[in-house]
Structure 1
Amino acid sequence: MHARFFCPDLPAEGHEFSLPPEVAHHADRVLRLRAGERVTLFDGAGREAEATLLQMGRDPRARIDAIVLCDREAPLSITLVQALATGDKMDWIVQKAVEMGVTAVQPVAAERSVLRLDGARAEKRVEHWQQVAVAACEQSGRNRVLQVAPIRSLPHWLAEATQGDRWVLSPEGGERLSRIPAPTAPVALMVGPEGGWSERELAAAKVAGCRPVALGPRILRTETAGIAAMGAMLALWGDY
């Protein structure tokens, strides 16, 4: 496979253009690519292009050789509603969610979330997670970059009107995924923090119309639960 890079302003076939600074740095300084090598570019909105590097160094340039129409998106529309997790767990969760084909990631602050972010720190962290999503798209072959939404408190997110179904992972009292009919609308999948959802949060989720679902009798870690659920959903109703 050719190296893949995210270029949001992808020109038309046959055009020559200067590579965006981030792409130029990665191609030149990290991967040590040279003029004449082929690369794959995508605009994050579905378009992909085969291109040739014309020159590197001070003014890295490329030529678009062919626009390729291909769709690698999952047939299920899933938004991962992930309670904030500590350390680098959120990076890992966002990365794997992209690989699994999730449509969007909505971070939420839960009662038992150890990580607390607000103001500029929250904005900076969301920007970082968005870049993690871009890098994961480059690696996984996706041509659409999912959006990492601004952090919301769980009550605020529950109060917002959303399209489709809302499912909350609940080890106790949830329906097994294998017993649920295939969803016909987008699904927002809610995953709790390290300490799990509180009883008050689970009650609020049910009042808001969220469907409790379970992944079997074992308790999964927050960084495992969402990925496992998405894998099961794609195996049951998706493209696996």
Structure 2
Amino acid sequence: MPRFHCPALLATGAELDLPPGAARHVQVLRLQPGDGITLFHGGQGAGDPGGEFDATVVKMGRSDVRVLVGAHHAIEREAPRAVHLLAGITANERMDWLVEKATELGVASITPLVAERSVLKLKGERADKKIAHWQAVAVAACEQCGRNRVPVVHPAIDLAGWLRSPGRGSSSPENQVRPQRLLLSLRPGTVPLREATGSEAGQRPVLFLSGPEGGLSPAEEDLAVQQGFAPVTLGPRVLRAETAPLAALAALTL
């Protein structure tokens, strides 16, 4: 059954108009009144009951689609461990791919990092548009993969700025456990990722820091280590900037 993100407050028995993006998708699929769909709020606001709702199309307009919200299902498909990704911004469409696949793998949040070696430097209106675009990519990935919680894509920031904001990327309010901080690095003295997290029994959140093409600069890595990030490795092969954090996510969440 087609799934759609609907940021409106969902409740069984309510009738509502789908947001423009979802309405266009319903029309492209040529759904008709009486056809069923699945709606989820996404978990990004107060009053979200979580899970997902059955819904039935009741009206197809030229540009609007009205649905009747049906039964609620308390289904969550989140990873057992919350992993917050602080990822160096990659060039071209690679960041889109990273956001999409990280969402599928269960990332809890993504902070695009404006690193010293980032080819793409974002600020101002251009940055706002990119963040909105990446958030939309995360929404679409949730619709596809079955997640009912949309990971937040935070504003782009440099590492020093992020470190001055200790609450950014932290665990959720209901889980105040301090996240384990891990830094993907090629420097001597790194330990394998599984070894670094082996003693972290249970579901302690993780903050995972990785760089753009070319990696983080030595100064950025030194700063991260000074702030409690433990250098880890994924093995003997050097992975691309958009592949490495996904490999780490798979190891941490699957």
Q: Normalising by structure 1, report the TM-score.
A: 0.93
Residue 161 of structure 2 is aligned to residue 145 of structure 1: no
Determine the structure 2 residue equivalent to 1:237.
none
Aligned-pair identity (%): 47
Q: Which of 88, 111, 114 in structure 1 is aligned with 2:93?
A: 88
Runs of 5+ unmatched residues, structure 1: 235-239
Check conservation: 2:112, 2:154, Cα contact below 8 A.
Answer: yes
Residue 60 of structure 2 is aligned to residue 41 of structure 1: no
Determine the structure 1 residue equivalent to 2:107.
102
Taking the aligned partners of 1:161 and 1:60, their CA distance within structure 2 comes to 42
Q: 1:130 to 1:182 in 2, by over 3 A?
A: farther
Determine the structure 1 residue equivalent to 2:23.
24
Taking the aligned partners of 1:188 and 1:178, their CA distance within structure 2 comes to 15
Residue 168 of structure 2 is aligned to residue 164 of structure 1: no
Check conservation: 2:83, 2:252, Cα contact below 8 A.
Answer: no
Runs of 5+ unmatched residues, structure 2: 44-49, 168-177
Task: State the Cα deviation string for residues 104-160 of structure 1 (Å, max 9, x = none).
Answer: 001111111111111110111001000001101100101111100001111111233
Taking the aligned partners of 2:65 and 2:226, their CA distance within structure 1 comes to 55
Taking the aligned partners of 1:85 and 1:225, their CA distance within structure 2 comes to 12
Say how many residue pairs are matched. Answer: 233
Taking the aligned partners of 1:176 and 1:85, their CA distance within structure 2 comes to 24
Taking the aligned partners of 1:78 and 1:24, their CA distance within structure 2 comes to 32
Taking the aligned partners of 2:129 and 2:194, their CA distance within structure 1 comes to 39
Determine the structure 1 residue equivalent to 2:174.
none
Taking the aligned partners of 2:215 and 2:53, their CA distance within structure 1 comes to 43
Taking the aligned partners of 2:22 and 2:199, their CA distance within structure 1 comes to 40
* More off after superposition, 142-151 vs 175-184: 175-184
Check conservation: 1:166, 1:189, Cα contact below 8 A.
Answer: yes
Taking the aligned partners of 1:79 and 1:182, their CA distance within structure 2 comes to 19
> After TM superposition, what 4+ stretches of structure 1 lie above 3 angstroms from structure 2?
none
Q: Normalising by structure 2, report the TM-score.
A: 0.88
Shift of 1:195: 0.8
For residues 1-240 of structure 1, the aligned pairs below 5 Å read 2-28=1-27, 30-45=28-43, 46-58=50-62, 59-162=64-167, 163-172=178-187, 173-180=189-196, 181-183=198-200, 184-234=203-253, 240=254
Task: State the Cα deviation string for residues 189-210 of structure 1 (Å, max 9, x = none).
Answer: 0111101111111111111111
Check conservation: 2:7, 2:42, Cα contact below 8 A.
Answer: yes
- Report the 3-state secondary structure (helix = DSSP H, G, I; strand = E; otherwise coil) of the residue aligned with 2:242: helix
Taking the aligned partners of 2:80 and 2:40, their CA distance within structure 1 comes to 20
Q: 1:70 to 1:182 in 2, by over 3 A?
A: farther
**Amino acid in structure 2 at the alignment position of 1:178:** R
Task: State the Cα deviation string for residues 161-189 of structure 1 (Å, max 9, x = none).
Answer: 25412111012331102222253531110
Determine the structure 1 residue equivalent to 2:172.
none
- Report the 3-state secondary structure (helix = DSSP H, G, I; strand = E; otherwise coil) of the residue aligned with 1:223: coil
**Amino acid in structure 2 at the alignment position of 1:35:** P
- Report the 3-state secondary structure (helix = DSSP H, G, I; strand = E; otherwise coil) of the residue aligned with 1:216: coil
